[in-house]
């Protein structure tokens, strides 16, 4: 029997029954494991009325935890963004002996438990640690204070921006930068006018993921913060304290804030992915454009 040359080959699972079964399984799992917890958080947060909810959110300890979380994100995310951009630029645009080692080092936070990372900071900056006595003599407090929280948050989120930029910058190659440099553009101007416009959506995507992880980080921060109520508590740590104190409404009220941030992050992630996909369909700028940008 001869087959039509234009006939599309049958793919595994291409039958309507298989498609519907797979889609049904995904929808059921998503409803029970993703959507249901969000609904429960919202219901429990307002279970005792809007007045109790706002009282829990406006409690001084909750406000302090929110401010500590926001302050940590405002410090850690820009620093990790700068690190990710520099690391991606170095790895993709230059050849040097320790290049592979740098790539491995960037992946380390994904391989180490956040709690282990927090314990490592104790051995480095604690009173009995490597730099602890020297820091104490200088009057510098790292652990059980904002610096320790920022350091722990930076460690666990260090790879996010770099991991988004490196594959894209490797795929783009070095031709545009080399052309701009040959036409007289400085390295900084080449980055701002040639490299950055081509990676801005991946950069924003990495920043969104980094910010979401900083806001929700628990393990490493719980070790280095000391869990001092109203002083070094971030929002995830505050939720745990409220829950252990049997303040269920307050715990769910605080958790609803993180849930809203998670939903906003998912929406931003989807929009950036969609916009990035549409941008990838656009052709790369011609040599005249590079010359124009480098002028």
Note whether 56 and 179 are same-domain residues. yes
10 pLDDT above the threshold of 80: no
* Domain contains 73: yes
Q: How many CB atoms lie within 10 A of CB 105?
A: 13
Note whether 158 and 242 are same-domain residues. yes
Note whether 156 and 192 are same-domain residues. yes
Domain count, the chain: 2
Q: What is the dihedral of CA 95, 97, 98, 103, to 10 degrees?
A: 40
The tokens 């998503």 sit on which residue? 30
Describe the chain by its helix, strand, coil percentages, rounded to 5.
75, 0, 25
Note whether 81 and 193 are same-domain residues. yes
**Angstrom distances, CA of residue 9 to CA of 5, 16, 22, 54, 126:** 10, 15, 20, 59, 63
pLDDT of residue 161: 92
Note whether 20 and 88 are same-domain residues. no
* Domain contains 88: yes
**Angstrom distances, CA of residue 49 to CA of 32, 36, 53, 250:** 25, 20, 6, 12
Band the pLDDT of 285: cuts 50, 70, 90.
very low
pLDDT of residue 138: 84
Tokens of 179: 């052309």
Note whether 102 and 21 are same-domain residues. no
Note whether 183 and 104 are same-domain residues. yes
Note whether 38 and 166 are same-domain residues. no
Our measurement of the distance from residue 114's CA atom to the centroid of its chain's CA atoms, rounded to an integer in Å, reads 14
* Domain contains 85: yes
Note whether 146 and 276 are same-domain residues. yes
Note whether 177 and 244 are same-domain residues. yes
pLDDT tens digits, one per residue of 107-149: 889 888 899 988 999 898 888 888 888 888 888 888 888 999 9
Q: What is the CATH number of the domain that holds 212?
A: 1.10.3720.10
74 pLDDT above the threshold of 90: yes
CA distance 98 to 82: 20
Note whether 217 and 238 are same-domain residues. yes
- The whole-model pTM stands at 0.81
- Residue-range definition of the domain harbouring residue 148: 49-115+141-294
* Domain contains 20: yes
The residue among 236, 212, 213, 211 whose CA lies nearest residue 225 is: 236
Q: What is the dihedral of CA 59, 63, 65, 66, to 10 degrees?
A: 140
* Domain contains 249: yes
């Amino acid at each position: 029997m001869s087959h039509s040359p234009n006939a599309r080959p049958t793919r595994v699972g291409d039958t309507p029954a298989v498609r519907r079964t797979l889609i049904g399984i995904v929808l059921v799992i998503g409803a029970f494991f993703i959507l249901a917890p969000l609904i429960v958080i919202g219901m429990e947060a307002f279970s005792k009325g809007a007045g109790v909810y706002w009282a829990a959110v406006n409690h001084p300890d909750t406000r302090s935890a929110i401010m500590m979380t926001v302050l940590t994100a405002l410090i850690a995310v820009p620093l990790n963004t700068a690190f990710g951009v520099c690391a991606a630029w170095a790895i993709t645009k230059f050849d040097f002996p320790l290049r592979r080692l740098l790539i491995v080092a960037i992946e380390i936070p994904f391989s180490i438990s956040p709690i282990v990372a927090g314990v490592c900071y104790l051995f480095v900056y604690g009173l009995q640690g490597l730099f602890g006595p020297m820091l104490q003599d200088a009057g510098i407090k790292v652990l059980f204070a904002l610096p320790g929280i920022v350091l722990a948050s930076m460690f666990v989120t260090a790879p996010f921006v770099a991991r988004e930029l490196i594959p894209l910058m490797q795929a783009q190659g070095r031709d545009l930068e080399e052309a701009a440099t040959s036409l007289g553009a400085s390295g900084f101007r080449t980055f701002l006018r040639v490299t950055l416009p081509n990676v801005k959506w991946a950069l924003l995507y990495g920043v969104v993921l980094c910010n979401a992880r900083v806001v929700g980080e628990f393990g490493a921060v719980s070790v280095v913060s000391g869990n001092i109520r109203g002083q070094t508590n971030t929002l995830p740590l505050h939720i745990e304290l409220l829950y252990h104190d049997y303040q269920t409404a307050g715990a769910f009220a605080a958790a609803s804030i993180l849930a809203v941030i998670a939903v906003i992050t998912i929406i931003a992630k989807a929009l950036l992915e969609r916009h990035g996909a549409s941008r990838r369909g656009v052709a790369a700028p011609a040599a005249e454009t590079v010359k124009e940008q480098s002028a």
